[in-house]
Structure 1
């Protein structure tokens, strides 16, 4: 079923692979596009001719009836009403590109039965969807485009929960340019969603609402092997139902993979929510801004994947926060971390050795071996340039890096710098709170002890440079406070069944 849906979606854009010009608009041309589009669909759907194409002056009018594409799904499992045919217009240009434009709306209701055998009802509506774009058959993708939508609404309900979400307006712009690497393309996209509101309520939970004045997004991807990726997608669609490839097909696939690698040279994505607010029965809170940033950068043999999140002007008003503790809630957060030194070149080289002509477990094992090449020497590194939190009574920042082997949880190293500004104010705030909560006297005493290990920066901040060595020893500002771990007498060599990668990072007890 999944293959059919993918093929149906891809079919619409694949029909423009044959060149044409404005002077060529004819019924024969329309029939050719129609037959191509329908032919690319599975036979049981194609016979219903869900796609229609007619000449319309200097362009073609293309209609696609989604209800016919979904006709094979059992109505007991899935049903939808109000799904009208969509229309778009395609105008061929003399340079081989196509101008595509459309103006549609959507207002549908339906239900589906999930894997848990429970029924979900839904309503989805968009008052207006408009797009004007330039499509490139050579890459089966848009080279540029302007897209917009108004009044997007979604409701989903089960017998235990109701979810409502809406956006006021959406705008999206796409551009592209020739990359610095010959034969590749750079893409950039940006846009905005305004007046976002989501409400969740249920029988066993109090209602909660999440809202934001706007959501801004910006993305850039450079050095995309667009043409090669197109060929790979078509190859996969043609062979997705095969258990294994023939030797000839395997050679062809690996040749395409070799040309496409690296798939891109860099990627950057930023999302920002403005005036985020959360309201529930237990309180309310929010942030003037909340941002998310994702990057992939560097040469293919030393790539860094980075993630950053920040929030400013944080607020929280809740009965769950005891009186007197409000000052300790962070008013600003900044979290940055990444995984550097990933060797995608070695991963690709190892992947090329995989035998796709057999359906045995050897292919899976080869894939695991390829993944192991991603981390040179079996070492996973994580850097955190900045992790900070600030309130009226503290200002703390942590930076550093840690590394460990992917095949064991015992061999790891950490180097981190912890900087606290206005540290005396933090101690004083804890001491004041301890007057009404004596249990905090130990925390106050601990903070003063920790200060004894600190060194002062020129600006008066307190600094602790913490190092955890591979033998388990720990030092602070060059002073050893814990010696090496005793060697385990019964320690065995790492087994072939290594722990999952996500569990190889230092545990919470080993972090500074």
Structure 2
């Protein structure tokens, strides 16, 4: 019951799957939409009149009263005040699609209890929400659309902590195109949030404030089986309360999964915070930009997962960092990681062998085997194309490739890495200068001088160390062995 209740707010979208009278807007068409919406809700909720649909000139007005969904909750566990009915308008088009639009606002407050029984009070307000979409009944999702919101404020508070967050404006745009094959769709989305501010404070901590002029985001996914995924979601919701899956349901679910595979051919998400700043009683810091990227691409039998983070023009202002050490604070950081060669085709084949009619605790061995096939017999690789950091006294670039196993109990580890440092003598000199007031750094300075002895010089003048670690424990730097193999256990 609770899973179906959670999906009630999205029922407006699914309701437009019904075949309505495109030639004319009438009460029969309105009733068809209403009945389709209600079919997605628990019977008692549907009877409460959560959804109302009426003809409104050349379109249908769909009104849903989410406050009525709260009737099944104990007010001590969940209460929302100010939740007013929201309307949107749907207009059938000659091409079978629908135009959906709305203009509303939000100003609610309330409380809820988390699983640990602790109470959280909240307030949410949005001065304006305007949206226009093109809805496709064939996939029960939007083909395109624009959404904008103004003056967004959120507050959550427990007995120990309070969080206040706000945005000035938000803009979001969705587009789509037919995929490379039938029943596949490419989606792209982008948007911007302005004047972001968040403050966190509690009984045992001073306030911490985070701000950014803008937060830009974009995402794209290629060859998404939207219709098949819709069917899987509906199946999962319909069977969420079943303690054990029947053989018939198992065969149906596996059939839908086969039809949906592979889920995507590529996915990418990028989030960038511009003029980010953090302030607190202990000091603060800023960055002209901070960006995060997540990507998945490649064929299903050789998929690569990429993640990257970078920050530019970093500054720190804190009494916790002595002035003598300020030159060592990085001014720019770039981190890139990748996991290549994941075999989702083999993983899917192994997953299809699972007996889903058995309890989860009886499927550990089969699940482990599926993961091993995902990582080609339990071996995985982490590529590190780049890790770089730069300040006034150092400029370091690191690239590496690590091979190991997912079963940590077995010692099977190998590493190939390259470390390049520009103006390494300048870095050593800076550490030696610090050692004059902090003698403990003399050991670090001596170690850096020893490391320099293993370095090679690249044509651009940088110092290079190519490091190799073999599975038997042997360590070599620039071809020179500095540690032999480990002794047998």
- Please report the TM-score for the alignment, with normalisation by the length of structure 2: 0.97
Is 1:23 aligned to residue 23 of structure 2? yes
Cα RMSD of the aligned pairs, angstroms, is 1.3
What's the counterpart of residue 308 of structure 2?
Answer: 308
Q: Secondary structure, in 3 states, of the residue corresponding to 1:263?
A: coil
8 A Cα contact 1:147 1:172, kept in partner: yes
Query: What is the Cα deviation at residue 360 of structure 1?
Result: 6.5
Query: What is the Cα deviation at residue 434 of structure 1?
Result: 1.4
What's the counterpart of residue 460 of structure 1?
Answer: 461
Once residues 140 and 339 of structure 2 are traced to their aligned partners in structure 1, the CA distance between those partners, rounded to angstroms, is: 33
Query: What is the Cα deviation at residue 389 of structure 1?
Result: 0.4
Q: Secondary structure, in 3 states, of the residue corresponding to 1:285?
A: strand
Once residues 47 and 140 of structure 1 are traced to their aligned partners in structure 2, the CA distance between those partners, rounded to angstroms, is: 24
Is 1:435 aligned to residue 436 of structure 2? yes
8 A Cα contact 1:99 1:135, kept in partner: yes
8 A Cα contact 2:18 2:36, kept in partner: no
Is 1:397 aligned to residue 374 of structure 2? no
8 A Cα contact 2:193 2:215, kept in partner: yes
1:415-426 matched pairs, under 5 angstroms: 415-426=416-427
8 A Cα contact 2:87 2:102, kept in partner: yes
Query: What is the Cα deviation at residue 159 of structure 1?
Result: 2.0
What's the counterpart of residue 446 of structure 2?
Answer: 445
8 A Cα contact 2:4 2:237, kept in partner: no
Query: What is the Cα deviation at residue 323 of structure 1?
Result: 2.5
Once residues 468 and 180 of structure 1 are traced to their aligned partners in structure 2, the CA distance between those partners, rounded to angstroms, is: 43
What's the counterpart of residue 177 of structure 1?
Answer: 177
- Deviation readout 1:247-288 (Å, 9 max, x if unpaired): 332222211111110000000110000000000001011100
Is 1:266 aligned to residue 266 of structure 2? yes
Once residues 151 and 28 of structure 2 are traced to their aligned partners in structure 1, the CA distance between those partners, rounded to angstroms, is: 39
Structure 2: gaps of 5 or more residues: none
Once residues 95 and 86 of structure 2 are traced to their aligned partners in structure 1, the CA distance between those partners, rounded to angstroms, is: 27
8 A Cα contact 1:416 1:466, kept in partner: yes
- Deviation readout 1:427-483 (Å, 9 max, x if unpaired): 111111112222211111111110000000001100000000000010000000000
What's the counterpart of residue 206 of structure 1?
Answer: 206
8 A Cα contact 1:20 1:93, kept in partner: no
- Deviation readout 1:412-441 (Å, 9 max, x if unpaired): 000000000010110111111112222211
What's the counterpart of residue 190 of structure 1?
Answer: 190
- Deviation readout 1:186-229 (Å, 9 max, x if unpaired): 00000000000001111100111000000000111001011111
What's the counterpart of residue 498 of structure 1?
Answer: none
- Deviation readout 1:98-131 (Å, 9 max, x if unpaired): 1100001000111112223222211110000010
Is 1:167 aligned to residue 167 of structure 2? yes
What's the counterpart of residue 411 of structure 1?
Answer: 412
**Bigger mean CA offset, 395-404 vs 231-240:** 231-240
Task: Label 1:328 to 1:360 Cα distance change in 2 as closer, same or farther (>3 A).
Answer: closer
Q: Secondary structure, in 3 states, of the residue corresponding to 1:41?
A: coil
Once residues 363 and 94 of structure 1 are traced to their aligned partners in structure 2, the CA distance between those partners, rounded to angstroms, is: 50
Query: What is the Cα deviation at residue 364 of structure 1?
Result: 4.3
- Deviation readout 1:139-192 (Å, 9 max, x if unpaired): 111100000100000111122211100000000000000111232010000000
8 A Cα contact 1:285 1:316, kept in partner: yes
Structure 1: gaps of 5 or more residues: 489-512
Is 1:473 aligned to residue 453 of structure 2? no
Once residues 120 and 180 of structure 2 are traced to their aligned partners in structure 1, the CA distance between those partners, rounded to angstroms, is: 49
- Deviation readout 1:234-254 (Å, 9 max, x if unpaired): 222222222233333222221
Once residues 364 and 74 of structure 1 are traced to their aligned partners in structure 2, the CA distance between those partners, rounded to angstroms, is: 37
**Bigger mean CA offset, 28-37 vs 81-90:** 28-37
Once residues 374 and 188 of structure 1 are traced to their aligned partners in structure 2, the CA distance between those partners, rounded to angstroms, is: 28
Once residues 137 and 368 of structure 1 are traced to their aligned partners in structure 2, the CA distance between those partners, rounded to angstroms, is: 39
Question: Aligned residue pairs: how many?
Answer: 488
8 A Cα contact 1:121 1:156, kept in partner: yes
**Bigger mean CA offset, 12-21 vs 135-144:** 12-21
What's the counterpart of residue 252 of structure 2?
Answer: 252
What's the counterpart of residue 369 of structure 1?
Answer: 369
